[in-house]
Structure 1
């Protein structure tokens, strides 16, 4: 954890940012992100972009970020396509055929790993690699199913069920992986988050020893940070909701919780789930009862609720007064006092 009283970012030497739902929604940057990242760089804190989205090459990701006024170098981008290619390279002989279910960027990573990407099944296919691609259809899944049933190694770049966009949550690679899992009764090797290598590789590239992972998903960003042994900040700008956070299992509980990246300059202690100034939360049977005790924002209440919910296992919430009712309404946890 960062030192007591410091701004959160000051306690770390590199921040590992997820992209979809954390930095942008589709083509739209999340408000305030460019300023927050610029401030980190101005203070000498390294930045890395660690994404489970395998549909674009690191060069394209960096270009997209620069188009949003976010400084980014190709060397600062780590994708799950790169992680999947590394898994394949470690397990297959050079030149082995890999059936690609995914974007041309994934195909390029397979080729860069010294393997032979193909799009149709044959007796020579040694593996299947699957990543997010908006063009994936039945014919691609059919080729993969035949290869997997014939004994090919199956590597999934990630198993994110959804993809946050400016239009809302859309099917992610995990939805397509689920289709193949149903069709083959097989389980893939997962290369991206929540596995640890993406985090370790990104931190090592910055020569950093105190990384902070920042993301919007409990099951990948936060679970991956815990697997990698690094602290994490959950921002509520993407997939996770206050309700899902209260119900999070121990393996998916973040070190810090904030509304957005504007919290990076707030004191670390204020962002950690625990008792909060201005709020009181008590367990009443099977309900958490929240009451206001002075000035306090809704996300402070959420951190107090997390503290009690994670200790007691109780996740139902009720407002004990009007202050709490207003805050719960802001959080989407609306209950009348």
Structure 2
């Protein structure tokens, strides 16, 4: 059949680094899947801040022009030689490099495919898989979270923040989170947040000290960078930990002297892509995410935009206009 010889797919790619205007809508002809590969037809595509880092060149792509996107769900359309355990028509999701998820279809290593149970919708998987693996990494490998711990989550109403709040709460932690509005505070509370701090109305450090009787939190997770990261360090108790997982503000910019001086705060800059480079850890994180979904983890999808409007999705994500995840629909 012709479609087994080649397959035309629409895609979003960039020819140069820059703002959202560099995203271009084009097409590509996919060859048949090679050995150990599948072709997946996407049904839902996750939009993540790492896509913006790739677009701006903060995390350079292997080559230009290049595609964006590291997370999607879809249906297996074709199998290459030597692919056990998967079938044409099967629903799967995946996360991680190589980039290229902003497309209607692509060829992909079968090792990345995570079979989806009937109870997990495609939109849920595309909104949660990468964030779920990140949460598992943070709470299992970076600093094992124990019942009774207190966690500070910066940007608690964002796509990752809502997952972290639920995951930490399920592990028995008390969760404090920062938000920018009462509406976002209410949403985060619905997802397990114990205490919301509106940073536009109150100093975060003052609020954390009050909520912890002056002790500080055991663990702070920061995806903002800059001054917010410095505040996260100051909010942690002696011998606690800070994990920096992004730099929405544009730079990490941490003065390492903040970690010492009697504070003795541990600092981690973990890479979820680094973790997922190990196939065992990738599948461990994916299965942990599916288990959390079975246990009640909820996906909050703020908006679904057509694939051709990927630039608008980036603008909205950068502006912090949405609470929850943004998806692209092929």
Q: Which has the higher helix share?
A: 1
TM-score (norm 2): 0.36
TM-score (norm 1): 0.35
Q: Which has the higher strand share?
A: 2
Quick check: which has more Rg, 1 or 2?
A: 1
